[in-house]
Structure 1
């Protein structure tokens, strides 16, 4: 027999399914732990890449060789922006489906919002590529 819904002790979906508060808290804690640890590991990788790049330049490697060995910072920025647009699109989708009953229409709205998030990400990449191609690199003389 199902216990009745008591405010603050769970979440009831539109179809009557009850999700206890403990499950929701557990999922949120796991997601927050994942986000925090991935942020921390990314930060450590960026700092170690910077130290390695500085040591390689001090050992008189050319900057082109250093860039070939290490990933550029643009890839890290693009990775972060991809997740930003994906999570923004899914958040907008969840806000939109909260206005409807759970069903096929809400899944379609969520899929559309995620697709729009990816579309915004690729628009961002296209704009960044146009900007980086139009700006000449400092210290590079192509006429020589």
Structure 2
């Protein structure tokens, strides 16, 4: 037997659950959480093709890094020929080189997440589930706030 307060709380929760999610799609956090969830679902569904593409891009970047490392001295020579004390060309080459190296490290981290075959990769499935729960939790909180605001 539920008391009046418990009945009121149960009715509040039921009313919140009955509200459609579409009422809250303009909320910035809902949009962010939805985009994150959709992206995680897309990754989950396309792990094999993503892995192949990342490996191809990693190879392309590795070749690009090797070429930049070879051209770095020539950029410094060109700066010297132009008496450019700021070494604008060499700095631009260095920035591109460091950016590409950081990107390779990021790709390696992403590939580590895809180390297991699709379907066996609990890290991906867990992340999809976590983002779904975060989205649903925020939506439910908005629904409860809406119900509570309507009562006032």
The TM tier, using the shorter chain, reads 0.3 to 0.5
Q: Using CA pairs below 8 Å that are at least 6 residues apart, which structure has the higher relative contact order?
A: 2
Q: So what's the TM-score if we normalise by structure 2?
A: 0.34
Structure with more of its chain in helix, by fraction = 2
Structure with more of its chain in strand, by fraction = 1
